[in-house]
């Protein structure tokens, strides 16, 4: 871990030296958790529905196997539009503030998700149904591309220096909590609307529930103050006019390396968040063929383990540094990947729970330090752009088409061995990218230290 510099604020201060009240800090953490949970609930409800019903309802004319792949393809398509959301949010966030962007992304995600809940199926309106479904998924992707960076910066830039990992965990646990909520609601609906009723109307209820959640999230976020780092930048009128251009001109290598770090995590994580395991484990023609409801409950349980592991890893990163925590995480993730399919293929709920639990432990340790590490990698004036675009590119390289790739591998080979090798390869990419980065834990985040922040953390580069 980097030794704190004399120019850093004391542990009780924000990066700009402003004392934030305990109540304001609590509001920031609570808003980050609630807002990201709602956003990712919306995103993961779609992935669950893609795994369980969208192939049948929107793509059935393509044939059973192809319909499943096309359904997973719509999960991945949204990732292609995350960079657009990241570009827009990064520019606006570096120019006009973190808070206003977060309000906009929350509303966009909620409206898109609610509209999916009332969308007619292929049987009702033909080819227009999958076209509209894809359009709404694209809007979800734009929202997701802008959401994460803003939530991360609002949390970490409010944090005392020695607690950035813990504060950064607040938007991070929104992902497993969103998965928990999405899987839980889907499981409840599988109990209430059994058999054909789930296909007819049961799947729609979780999407319609999004409207209520968005109202709650909007109410919570509007009470949070702007990031103290951006407030100081704005007061000095030091906003960068073209933050994205500066980012790519001076920090392109850093963006690519940071993207690969996240790619190693997201490819593995999207085995559950992208719906592949849910589909594989419940396919009546496959080797596992478990019931839908119990599988969804097991996924919800794994989300709890993922959340706990994320919190633990974030705390550990404040003790030993982000890079060291990541290296532990890559080892744990590799163990989880190796154990996953041998356990899942035993075709019992208990072995499925053990497999997903082991995987979730490693995922948490490669996810918990991410928010604080990304924040510490980029200069203050272009930080929103750097964090958001690196994250969006990493999601494309990693999670975007991981469920579709896994489904295609199983369809082509009839086995999961090659899927394991694919996930181990992505884990190795994340490990290598992490080794290329210097640890910047504790670096000052305020605009007074822009020169120090601009020195590239990528080994072998004086500037990125």
Q: What is the CATH number of the domain that holds 218?
A: 1.20.1250.20
Token pair for residue 223? 């009470």
pLDDT of residue 126: 93
Q: Are 341 and 420 in contact (CB under 8 A)?
A: yes
Tell me, yes or no, whether 460 lies in a domain.
Answer: no
Prediction pTM value: 0.81
Exposed/middle/buried for 225, CB within 10 Å: 0-12, 13-18, 19+?
middle
Q: What is the pLDDT of residue 152?
A: 86
Task: Domain of residue 145: give its range.
Answer: 22-454
Whether residue 153 contacts residue 92, with contact meaning beta carbons closer than 8 Å, is answered with no
Residue 7 domain-assigned?
no
User: In the chain, which stretches have pLDDT less than 70?
Assistant: 1-21, 226-227, 230, 233-234, 236-240, 462-464
Q: What pLDDT score was predicted for residue 322?
A: 96
136 domain-assigned: yes
Give the pLDDT score at 243.
Answer: 83
Write the DSSP symbol of residue 426. H
Q: List pLDDT tens digits, range 40-68.
A: 888 788 888 888 889 889 998 887 778 88
Count of the separate structural domains present in the chain: 1
4 found inside a domain: no
69 within some domain: yes
Domain membership of residue 13 (yes or no) is no
- Specify if 10 maps to a domain: no
């Amino acid at each position: 871990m980097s030794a704190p510099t004399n120019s850093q604020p004391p542990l009780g201060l924000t990066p700009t030296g402003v004392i934030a009240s305990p109540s304001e800090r609590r509001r920031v953490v609570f808003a980050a958790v609630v807002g990201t949970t709602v956003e990712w609930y919306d995103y993961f409800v779609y992935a669950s529905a893609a795994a369980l019903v969208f192939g049948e309802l929107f793509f059935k004319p393509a044939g059973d196997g192809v319909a499943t792949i096309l359904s997973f393809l719509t999960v991945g398509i949204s990732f292609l539009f995350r960079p657009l959301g990241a570009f827009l949010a990064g520019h606006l966030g570096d120019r006009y503030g973190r808070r206003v962007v977060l309000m906009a992304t929350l509303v966009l995600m909620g409206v898109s998700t609610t509209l999916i809940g009332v969308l007619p199926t292929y049987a009702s309106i033909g080819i227009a149904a999958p076209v509209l479904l894809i359009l709404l998924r694209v809007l979800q992707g734009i929202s997701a591309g802008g959401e994460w960076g803003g939530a991360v910066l609002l949390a970490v830039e409010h944090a005392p220096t020695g607690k950035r990992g813990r504060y950064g965990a607040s938007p991070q646990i929104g992902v497993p909590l969103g998965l928990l909520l999405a899987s839980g609601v889907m499981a409840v609906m599988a109990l209430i609307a059994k058999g054909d009723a789930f296909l007819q109307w049961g799947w729609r209820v979780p999407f319609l529930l999004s409207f209520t959640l968005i109202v709650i999230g909007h109410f919570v976020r509007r009470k949070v103050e702007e990031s103290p780092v951006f407030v100081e930048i704005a007061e000095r009128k030091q906003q960068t006019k073209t933050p994205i251009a500066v980012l790519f001109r001076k920090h392109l290598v850093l963006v690519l390396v940071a993207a690969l770090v996240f790619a190693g995590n997201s490819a593995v994580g999207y085995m559950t968040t992208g719906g592949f395991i849910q589909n594989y484990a419940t396919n009546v023609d496959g080797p596992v063929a478990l019931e839908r409801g119990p599988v969804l409950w097991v996924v919800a349980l794994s989300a709890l383990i993922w959340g706990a592991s994320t919190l633990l890893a974030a705390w550990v990163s404040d003790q030993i540094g982000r890079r060291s925590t990541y290296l532990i995480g890559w080892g744990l993730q590799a163990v989880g990947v190796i154990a996953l399919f041998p356990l899942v293929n035993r075709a019992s709920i208990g072995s499925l729970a053990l497999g997903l639990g082991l995987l979730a432990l490693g995922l948490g340790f490669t996810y918990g330090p991410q928010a604080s590490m990304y924040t510490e990698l980029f200069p203050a004036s272009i930080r929103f752009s750097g964090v958001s675009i690196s994250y969006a590119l990493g999601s494309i390289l990693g999670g975007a088409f991981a469920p579709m790739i896994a489904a295609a591998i199983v369809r082509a080979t009839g086995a999961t061995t090659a899927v394991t090798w694919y996930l181990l390869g992505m884990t190795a990419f994340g490990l290598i990218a992490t080794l290329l980065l210097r640890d910047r834990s504790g670096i000052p985040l305020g605009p007074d230290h822009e020169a120090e922040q601009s020195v590239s953390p990528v080994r072998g580069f004086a500037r990125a």
